[in-house]
Structure 1
Amino acid sequence: MIDYIKGEITELTPASVTLETGGIGYFISISLNTYSALEHKKNEKLFIHESIREDAHQLFGFINKQERDLFIYLISVSGIGASTARMILSSMTIPELELVISTGNVDMLKTVKGIGLKTAQRIIVDLKDKIKVSGEGSLDTGISSETASESIAALVMLGFAQVPSQKAVARILKEKPDSSIEQIIKAALKIL
């Protein structure tokens, strides 16, 4: 199984990237979040999920392991295929998706193209416990994941990169664990 591919970006579209390594070009399907992270780069390392079926062999690439883990969780839900999982990951940032699932926000999930009420409910029921366990990618402090996720999502929406936003929020909450979302964002804006 391929864990990651590191190489030169030879072609990039919002839905796919071709990474050349060792003289071989790998066609990899990606989410919009990964596309945004790759946009102005020449070389990159993508974490890979291989989908091997009778009629196709596909590679899905992710900018970090956390996004790949969420993709794997999503495709484990009955009725969610790779295309739908990629659509969900393209519609929301990782912190937003974690927040939507952990808080059971069915309405937000239904805004994703192709997700109806029953599918949204199934995603939440199947993944609610798993997302809490997977929180290692967002913050490893003993803080409220809801407060942290909302703060990170707000910073990402303001145009800051996800990883620095996560680090800033973690640092702020280590110093002042009972900060409100507004206080976290104001403090993070001074750091970032």
Structure 2
Amino acid sequence: MYEFISGKIAQTTPAYVVLENNGIGYLINISLNTYEALKGKNESSLYIYENIREDAYILYGFSSTREREIFQLLISVSGIGANTARMMLSSMTPDELQAAIATENVNQIKSIKGIGLKTAQRVIVELKDKIGKTTGGQKLPVPEDNTNAEEALSALVMLGFSKGPSQKVVDKILREKPGSKVEEIIKLALKML
């Protein structure tokens, strides 16, 4: 299995790139996010996902391992094939897609061409727990406000406060001051609890 392919960019389109490595041109399907990352470059390395079927051997390339991990999570969902997953990653950045799944934003996922209501719901149900778990040794970041809220909440629980009331206070603080840092949230919460 290929981990990555490096080489000269022989041809680039929004749908695929041809990387030349040792006289061999590899046609690699890409998302629009990867296409944007390749703009203006003469050489590149792409992380590879191999899709081996009875009738075809297709390579998919990604500018980051994170994008590839999200692609692999998407194709693990029943009814989502490699091309649909690539379409999803072309319509939204990995961060936006991850945030939409984590916050259960069905409408945002449904807005992607070819994704209906049931498929969007299935993506959320099957990936909500997986999307935040560790992949490749590092945790995929959730939007900053959610991370700060979670860290503040866990700190308050460790300090001996009940989770329910602490959650309400943290939510209230973030509604009033959306960009608050973890330390600020904890200090304000301690005054309110």
Fold equivalence (TM over 0.5): yes
Distance 1:130 1:66, change over 3 A: same
Bigger Rg, structure 1 or 2: 2
| Corresponding residue of 1:94 | 94
Tell me the TM-score normalized by structure 1. Answer: 0.74
Code of the residue aligned with 2:143 in structure 1: it is: E
Q: State the alpha-carbon separation in 1 of the partners of residues 19 and 44 from structure 2.
A: 8
Task: Report the number of matched residues.
Answer: 150
Distance 1:148 1:36, change over 3 A: farther
Gaps of 5+ in 2: 148-180, 186-193
| Corresponding residue of 1:49 | 49
Query: Does residue 147 in structure 1 map to residue 140 in structure 2?
Result: no
Distance 1:43 1:84, change over 3 A: same
Query: Does residue 111 in structure 1 map to residue 125 in structure 2?
Result: no
- Which SS does the other structure have where 2:144 is aligned? helix
| Corresponding residue of 1:12 | 12
User: 1:121-153 CA deviation, whole Å, 9 max, x = no partner?
Assistant: 0000000111111473644xxxxx232689xxx
| Corresponding residue of 1:23 | 23
Gaps of 5+ in 1: 140-144, 151-175, 181-192
Tell me the TM-score normalized by structure 2. Answer: 0.73
Give the RMSD, CA atoms, in angstroms.
1.9
Distance 1:21 1:118, change over 3 A: same
Question: How far apart are 1:94 and its partner, in Å?
Answer: 1.0
- Which SS does the other structure have where 2:182 is aligned? coil
- The answer to whether the 8 A contact 1:50-1:60 is kept is yes
| Corresponding residue of 1:37 | 37
| Corresponding residue of 1:65 | 65
Question: How far apart are 1:11 and its partner, in Å?
Answer: 0.1
Q: State the alpha-carbon separation in 1 of the partners of residues 40 and 140 from structure 2.
A: 24
Q: State the alpha-carbon separation in 2 of the partners of residues 52 and 30 from structure 1.
A: 16
> Equivalent pairs: percent with the same residue?
54
